[in-house]
Amino acid sequence: MIDSGPGIPAADRARVFERFQRGEDARSTGSGLGLPIARLCARAMDGSVEYFEPAGGGAGFVVELPIVPR
């Protein structure tokens, strides 16, 4: 997933998955729990959520979950 916003400043990237963390320029009224919850859920299923910096700007996140045969 890639958004079209300004991205995440380098100083904030280390904390982006910490609870209640919001960027200095946060424009939303969010609580800072979305990314930590997403990572917690992914890890509970032996997966991951990682940040990456897209070439065209914005913020990018990769969610990887294992394939479980039925």
Reply yes or no on whether the pLDDT at 2 is more than 90.
no
What is the C-alpha separation between 53 and 49, in angstroms, rounded?
Answer: 14
Task: Give the per-residue pLDDT at 28.
Answer: 66
Yes or no: say if 20 and 31 are a contact pair by the CB < 8 Å rule.
yes
Class of domain 10-64: alpha beta
Domain boundary assignment for the chain: 10-64
Is 47:65 a contact under the CB 8 Å cutoff? yes
- Which residue is it, tokens 């997966």? 47
Structure tokens at 2: 């890639």
Query: Is the pLDDT reported for residue 15 higher than 70?
Result: yes
Which of 10, 39, 36 has its CA nearest to residue 23? 10
Residue 59 one-letter amino acid: A
Which tens digits make up the pLDDT trace of 19-60?
A: 988 766 666 677 889 899 999 999 999 999 999 988 888 889
